[in-house]
Amino acid sequence: MRIPCPLCGTRDRREFTYYGSEDYANRPAADAPAQAWDDHLHNRDNPCGPTRDLWYHDPCGAWVRVHRDTATHAVHGSDLVAERGQA
Amino acid sequence: MSGYRLSAGGLVDRSQTVRFTFDGLPFTGYHGDTLASALLGNGVQVVGRSFKYHRPRGVLTAGSEEPNALVEVLDGAQKTPNVRATVQEIFPGLAAQAQNAWPSRNLDLMAVNDLLSPFLSAGFYYKTFMWPRAFWERLYEPLIRRAAGLGRLSGRHDESRYEKVFAFCDVLVIGSGPAGLMAALAAARSGARVIVADEDARMGGRLLADRPEIDGMPGDLWAAQVLEDLAGMPNVRLMPRTTVVGAHDQGTYAALERVSLHRAAPGDAPREAFWRIVAKRTVLAAGALERGIAFCNNDRPGIMLAGAARAYVHRYGVAPGQRVAVFGTTDSARQTARALQAAGVQVAALIDPREDASTLEDFKVIRGAVVTDTQGRKGLRRVQVRQGSNTFALEADSLLVSGGWNPSVHLACHMNGRPVWDDGIAAFVPKPGAVPGLDACGAAAGRFSTAACLQDGLRAGLAAVADLGLAAPALTAPQAEDGSYDITRLWHVPGKGRAWLDFANDVTVKDVMLSAQEGFRSVEHMKRYTTQGMAPDQGKNSNVAALAVLADATGQTIPGTGTTTFRPPYTPVSIAAMGGGGRASGFAPQRFLTSDAASRERGAPMIEAGLWYRPSYFPRPGETGWEVACDREVRMVRSAVGVCDVSTLGKIDIQGADAGRFLDFVYTNTFSTLPVGKVRYGLMLREDGHVMDDGTTARLGAQHYVMTTTTAAAGQVMRHLDFVAQAHCPDWDVRMISVTEQWAQFAVAGPRARDLLRAVLDDLPDLPFMGCAEVGLYGIRGRLFRISFSGELGFELAVPARFGESLFRDLVGRAETLSGGPYGMEALNVLRIEKGLITHAEIHGRTTAFDIGMAKMVSPKKDCIGKAAAARPGMHGPDREQLVGLRPVQPGQRLTAGAHLFTPGEDVKRENDQGYVTSVGPSPSLGWIGLGFLKNGRARVGEMVRLVDHLRGLDLLCEVCDPVFLDPAGEKLRG
Amino acid sequence: MAELIAKSPGAGLHLPVTRGGATLAEWLPGAITSVAPFAGAGDKVDAALTPLGMGFPAPNGMAQGKTARIVWTGRGQAFLIGAPAPEGLGAVAALTDQSDGWAGLRLAGPAAADVLARLVPLDLDSFAPGTAARSLLGHMALILMRPDPEVWDILVFRSMARTAIHELDTAMVQLAARAAG
Amino acid sequence: MRYSGLRVLTEGLFGNKGWKPAWRDPAPKAQYDAIIIGGGGHGLSTAYYLAKNHGLTNIAVLEKGYLGSGNIGRNTTIVRANYFLQGNSEFYSHSLKLWEGLESELNYNVMHSQRGLINLFHSDGQRDAFVRRGNAMINQGDDAILLDREGVRRHLPYLDFEQTRFPIYGGLLHPRGGTARHDAVAWGYARGADRRGVDLIQNCEVTGIDIENGRVTGVQTTRGAIRAKKVGMVVAGRSSQVAAMAGMRLPIESHVLQAFVTEGLKPVIDHVISFGMGHFYMSQSDKGGLVFGGDLDFYASYAARGNLPIIEHVMEAGMTLMPMIGRAKVLRSWGGIMDMSPDGSPIIDKTPIDGLFVDCGWNYGGFKAVPASGWCMAHLMATGESHPVARRFRLDRFATGHVIDEEGTGSQHNLH
């Protein structure tokens, strides 16, 4: 499997550390209700199909949001977590 | 004796005789022979025994799909089981043995199973061996295990060399037959970077086995010409002896190269290399595999696939028998009969089930006929033929069978795409697009004539080139035979006896029928119930026929029955090849301290800690065991001064206008208010509210901090900080980088620490506890932190790593003049337990700030990572196990980490479990002491608990105490 | 003792070594400073680097000045190698001294790329001379530079020098033995 | 039809013509007392125990493919009860006891073989953690023996004690740990459930869950609507998709776990070996293949296939620990779809919808749980109360913080 790092280019999966769904990047406000925190930390759409998830490119230190498909392993693109659009 | 070496012909080098042994007997072959061709050339017919019934078996194929001729090669630690004799090239001194036979392949006592076969039908073992219960493990299972299996491992470490390689190309061509060569030529001439991989030692594919005429020349010569052309191009890499075994995501292919398995003395060359090939486009030109026909006793030695027989004649100059019969449903059979006759082999008859088959041959053609049975236990003697209502016998020592050809669809199916049934050829073909970027062509796509293969290969090559945006070269396919493929479907000739499908696992037509009878009617159920297709050939020879039999039994069509899943690897790959480089210390990098050599010189046993090697203790002459040394080192620190290399701790440099604010966010406590020149202990939570790590962070400047992490968590913390910065506060001005390796850092601890530092530093600054400063020493700059992990007056001195070893030697030498010296991990551990300081033994991932008595460190004034989740009801309260100190009621008793705690008087059982011990150590002043977690522990200080360690036979009473055993007011470290 | 003895990461590790068409030697790059421009300070960082004849590099980039080289080493980060940080850089970028944190190795010769292909998951044919990359050497973090077509400069963590040299040497031995067969 | 050695003999003498189908092939009825969605190991055992322990026989198991088509047939067949934390401890202990009587219970030889499981450790700290676990096992009434280095050598003389990257300090031996024949477990439960009247309906995919006023009333399937007042979702690997039909969002992320088997070999490995530092475990099947695996591929996936980095990592782990397996050839690899929960422990609980129950989140420990999972899920569905050994496997424990995190890696699904 090969993952596109927006900085370094497409690299072998072995250069990356996986975190999980992009839900982890959307942190609730400190005073958000408990349900929001439960959803942030635990509950997942867990789609069989297109998804966006978070990968760390260990060599360059960039957190990358990858647009890919969990059913086919197709990778459609990626962006930097720090510069991610809201689309 | 049946097979023999023809007096001429073949592509072997008859000028080079090669001597080898099989089952201890000497044989000779020629350079270029496989073990199978050499054995056939020597008339050896029985090469092994079958898996279940231990039937004598001979060579069936001429490729890696061979189900029968699996042998052990080499001896001692080099012994290699389950080697395909059809792939293994002979070399001088090669020693091979038959396997799965006892005492020998010719007299195998396990063959009694063959007589018991009525009772050993599919799945019989699920129905019996259950009584009495204990007999399964003691009697039945050991018997089954001994009878099963194939070859033997040596039981000794595989010390050989293996290699892994990465490669990249524009076009990967898999297979070098007519289709592959044309594809490669098209791609290469366009300027694309091309890799051509072929399983065989010699490239050319079926062109070598069939030698069809191409542009007026024999196919093998045409192939040689094209290969020479390709070899001369700098953008082409030819990889013979290389099997592409797996198609993975984004154009990544796994391939196994047999680098030196054919060499008598490989020297330092690897045995095998495991390639990871990344290709923009792939042309699958892996050809097709011939399949047999199920008839009674179709597994006897001497029965071979028809196409394989042609390969033995043309490629190796070997005849499969003295008098051969040929039986087949396609013209492959006729072609074989002709080829053998042309080579001078006596052809008994061609048996063709087609009523309209031509009889115009120089040999007898029996049309509208089938083979119904065979005779000859250790070698074929007679073939029973039925033509219409007549049955008669043919004398033959070899029967060559063709039931049609199956395209090698495997790689095209590795990404879950199922192949598609093609009724015209009665076989499955690859589903286009099933593997992105992969295009099947030639026989692999069901196009069987040489001309069609050449044209289709060219098409695939040009298509790949066009996809890549390269200019197509001017290239046309050469002229070649273009016959149509005519097949009569014949999967199974009905009869009374056993007709084999899966030779390797001994699965017969009856087994598949029984499976359907018992309700195992889906193809996956049938496979799993009968083990059809699960043997070393993975059903390459038999799966399609088995499907057909199942479809027949269940009244479904073959495509309606479907296939089982194709999974990597295409051919089996050694663990050593895929694990190349992992042997011994190669599994993970080794990290060495700058003080490593100095510690080892002092005899320190080194222990592994997060890839690093750290000294356990520094033994002195006469000291026996670690406890004596540890005791001395602890006393030394408490009474004089000790030196310890703490460079393994993670160090992260954090700078920027928002650095303080950022630290406030990742730590539970506040750092933005920390004065420059001061150090603070910080507690870091995971977002789920549990403790991630702890350590000290120093403020070096207004916008400059350096954070310390534990050794184990250094990488995790760096990744976490990057995540928080990039995901949650990307606009903050924070810059982070690891400086762990830049600094060699040494703890200098004990009442005489200042004396030691004064001798080393240009000027010892008057640092308060938790202060830091830059210092000068020996003409260089270092950093001095007044922090302590021992409870003593303590400093950590950091210098650029190049000076680490020298400074360590200097500090230790000077410490010794002050009655001090180095101390290791054991003493460090006792020192910190005496002070109730925690490590990852305590913050093991399930502990909260509340558990370790640090709830108050979670600042109420600000948000921080983990704060919200830490507020969940289950994360605090009296039901939680809390950090406590433990000391035995009877002085001198030993404690053990891993023991569990109980309330005295209660039964020792899970329901009553009160907690457990995490760390223990022998304190010179207090005896054995420990840290542990106890339910509602802080409220129970002063109570007795019962400590039980079943595994080490310990059961004693302890007093619960505060985790800080020594100097609770901290007078020593502030002194 | 009047002074501390400086020890290079590769000291005692039996370099240089030549096997077949590749030579592995210790490479002593001199001063290494990490440069991470502060927010919005990109232009100022470029300006501060101008005296060295270089600017802040793009990803996978490397610039070679007369005495020094600057190499992209990660998101918002580069290593200035071979010269001290120029005046004023520290005010516009976070700097750290990395001179002692890395073991430098130089692999050179016609077989060098084939040796690296045993350990580095990069397309080395497409790795243009004068560029750099962050990647892996086996299981180790790697900064790889290709100053010349047949010269590869390698930085790995100092503590891993022994493993890196062992793995490179093993690849060299096996590659050379293949050629011999 | 009762299976026995005598039956095998008599059938063998008469051409094996008398064997009957292992289970019926019924058409779905319009209504059942209870429906189990999922004909894998857990679903089949749930149905079996609903019928056997609770007398509910008007029930159906709905399977979208063939019985046992999920992870029950794609695992490394390890059976053990060696947990540390309360919740897991009592549950897996219960499961192991059920395993120990499974052949006679089911009249089916599932080839449960207590070959002994050895967890290796490589430092003092790891030893203490394993001792803590071993003591918990004994406190629970199970078995554990601490082996020092020489003890490990006696059992596993072929390990590399000299050069391996992480030196072997010792091991924790769990004598009752072992393996079983995975498919046989599914088939044995299926046959047992069928014999008690349960309808096992294959090729019947659930496409919707009918809910009225907060109560479940039945399911929609590719073979029509089926009414039932109780529905159990036992569909590890597809839990999120099925739960979504009921409007639920589960704390589950699906991951791929690869496993491997080599060509057959004469007996060489007797135990189950677990090498935590390398994330590697191995045993040898009765057919002679070395069966082994490692860690997840670590990215969310439903593709049931993996990639090379983890494959290589697993092989490298094998080579550093026991290089005598180097020349064994991997015959086949496969990938299972794992329901990864945020604490690595499963869920057996009611849902906010009346009559709808969920059994999921088995991470990669589901095989050994098959008997107890079915036992406890059946108890829950029949009585409406959690079984005592499964009462901590609550759906709301993540919200409340009562997590059961054996690995201590926190709320990141792929780290367990």
B708 shares its domain with B750: no
Element of type H or E holding A21: strand A16-21
B627 shares its domain with B704: no
For testing contact with chain B, the best of D91, D315, D389 (most B CBs within 10 A)? D315
Chain B residues closer than 8 Å to D407 by CB:
845
Chain A residues closer than 8 Å to D309 by CB:
1, 12-14
Size of interface A-C (CB pairs under 8 A): 35
Nearest Cα residue in chain A from B252? A1
B780 touches chain C (CB under 8 A): yes
CB contact under 8 A, A44 and D241: no
Chain B residues closer than 8 Å to A63 by CB:
722-723, 726-727
Task: Indicate which CATH number applies to the domain containing B273.
Answer: 3.50.50.60
Number of compact structural domains in chain B: 7
Nearest Cα residue in chain B from C156? B741
Chain D residues closer than 8 Å to B875 by CB:
401
CB contact under 8 A, D411 and B916: no
Query: What end-to-end distance do the CA atoms of chain D give, in Å?
Result: 43
- What backbone phi and psi angles, to 5 degrees, belong to B768? -75, 165
Question: Domain D113-177+253-340 falls in which CATH fold?
Answer: D-Amino Acid Oxidase; Chain A, domain 2 (3.30.9)
Distance from CA of A69 to the nearest CA of D (A): 8
Residues of chain D with pLDDT under 70: none
What is the residue whose two structure tokens read 């600000």?
B862
Q: Give residue B974's pLDDT.
A: 87
Q: Are D72 and D45 in contact (CB under 8 A)?
A: no
Q: Give residue C2's pLDDT.
A: 67
CA angle A55, A58, A63 (to 5 degrees): 40
Question: Domain D5-16+23-77+182-250+343-415 falls in which CATH fold?
Answer: FAD/NAD(P)-binding domain (3.50.50)
When CB atoms are compared, the residue of B589, B743, B802 closest to C139 is B589
CB contact under 8 A, A71 and D252: no
Q: Are D40 and D68 in contact (CB under 8 A)?
A: yes
Nearest to D135 by CA among D79, D78, D82: D82
B-facing residues of A in 61-80 (CB < 8 A) are 61-63, 72-75, 80
CA–CA dist D318, B584 (Å, integer):
10
Residue where one domain finishes, among candidates B113, B139, B170: B113
- Sorted by sequence, the CB contacts under 8 Å of residue B163 that are 6+ apart come out as B259, B270, B272, B273, B274, B580, B581, C118, C171, C174
When CB atoms are compared, the residue of C75, C122, C135 closest to A62 is C75
User: Could you tell me whether strands B679-685 and B743-749 are parallel, antiparallel, or unpaired per DSSP bridges?
Assistant: unpaired
Count the Cβ atoms, other than its own, within 10 Å of residue B393: 13
Does the pLDDT at position A86 exceed 80? no
On the CB side of B472, how many CA atoms lie within 13 Å of its CA?
A: 13
Chain A residues closer than 8 Å to B582 by CB:
none
Task: Indicate which CATH number applies to the domain containing B780.
Answer: 3.30.1360.120
Q: Give residue B433's pLDDT.
A: 95
Size of interface B-D (CB pairs under 8 A): 368
Q: Which chains touch D (3 or more CB pairs under 8 A)?
A: A, B
Q: Give residue B859's pLDDT.
A: 96
Mean pLDDT value of segment C86-90: 96
Q: Give residue B1's pLDDT.
A: 52
Q: Give residue B133's pLDDT.
A: 83
B190 shares its domain with B322: no
CA–CA dist B478, D149 (Å, integer):
68
CB contact under 8 A, C7 and B168: no
Residues of chain B with pLDDT under 70: 1
Taking each helix axis from N to C terminus, what angle separates D41-54 and D366-383, rounded to the nearest 10 degrees?
Answer: 40
CB contact under 8 A, A56 and B719: yes
For testing contact with chain C, the best of B705, B802, B807 (most C CBs within 10 A)? B802
Q: Which CATH number describes the domain made up of A2-28+47-83?
A: 3.30.2270.10
Residue spans of the domains in chain A: they are 2-28+47-83
B677 shares its domain with B598: no
Task: Indicate which CATH number applies to the domain containing B892.
Answer: 2.40.30.110
Chain C residues closer than 8 Å to B163 by CB:
118, 171, 174
Q: Are D320 and B583 in contact (CB under 8 A)?
A: yes
Task: Indicate which CATH number applies to the domain containing B70.
Answer: 3.10.20.440
Domain that holds residue B47: 4-113
Q: Which chains touch B (3 or more CB pairs under 8 A)?
A: A, C, D
For testing contact with chain A, the best of C34, C62, C73, C75 (most A CBs within 10 A)? C75
ipTM above 0.85, yes or no: yes
Mean pLDDT value of segment A23-46: 97
Chain mean position to CA B341: 48
Q: pLDDT tens-digit profile of C110-138?
A: 999 999 999 999 999 999 999 999 999 99
When CB atoms are compared, the residue of A2, A30, A82 closest to B250 is A2
Nearest to B39 by CA among B326, B261, B304: B304
B885 shares its domain with B975: yes
B347 shares its domain with B414: no
In what order do the strands lie in the sheet containing B642-645?
B772-777, B780-785, B794-800, B743-749, B642-645, B821-822
Count the Cβ atoms, other than its own, within 10 Å of residue B358: 12
B654 shares its domain with B643: no
Chain A residues closer than 8 Å to C120 by CB:
none
Chain B residues closer than 8 Å to D394 by CB:
none
CB contact under 8 A, A15 and C75: no
Taking each helix axis from N to C terminus, what angle separates B543-554 and B509-517, rounded to the nearest 10 degrees?
Answer: 40
B717 shares its domain with B774: no
When CB atoms are compared, the residue of D251, D252, D302 closest to A71 is D302
Maximum C-alpha span of chain A: 40
CA torsion through residues B632, B635, B640, B646, sign: positive
CB contact under 8 A, A41 and D298: no
Does the pLDDT at position C1 exceed 70? no
B184 shares its domain with B51: no
When CB atoms are compared, the residue of B154, B528, B898 closest to D129 is B898
When CB atoms are compared, the residue of C8, C12, C101 closest to B742 is C101
Chain C residues closer than 8 Å to A7 by CB:
59, 75
Q: pLDDT tens-digit profile of B846-869?
A: 999 999 999 999 999 999 999 999
Per DSSP, the three-state class of B798 is: strand
Q: Give residue D80's pLDDT.
A: 98
CB contact under 8 A, A19 and B730: no
Q: Give residue A71's pLDDT.
A: 97
Q: Give residue D362's pLDDT.
A: 97
Distance from CA of C3 to the nearest CA of B (A): 5
Nearest to C159 by CA among B804, D252, D213, B606: B804
Nearest Cα residue in chain B from D168? B608
CB contact under 8 A, A20 and D414: yes
CB contact under 8 A, B735 and C125: no
Residue where one domain finishes, among candidates B802, B832, B862: B832
Chain C residues closer than 8 Å to B800 by CB:
97, 99-100
Does the pLDDT at position C18 exceed 90? yes
Q: Give residue B109's pLDDT.
A: 85
Residue B699 lies in a domain: yes
B167 shares its domain with B252: yes
Chain C residues closer than 8 Å to B592 by CB:
159, 161-162
Residue spans of the domains in chain D: they are 5-16+23-77+182-250+343-415, 113-177+253-340
Does the pLDDT at position A87 exceed 60? no
Residue B814 lies in a domain: yes
B642 shares its domain with B662: no
Q: Which residues of A fall below an 8 Å CB-CB distance to C?
A: 7-9, 11-12, 14-15, 58-62, 80
C134 touches chain A (CB under 8 A): yes
Q: Which chains touch C (3 or more CB pairs under 8 A)?
A: A, B
CA–CA dist B439, B251 (Å, integer):
12
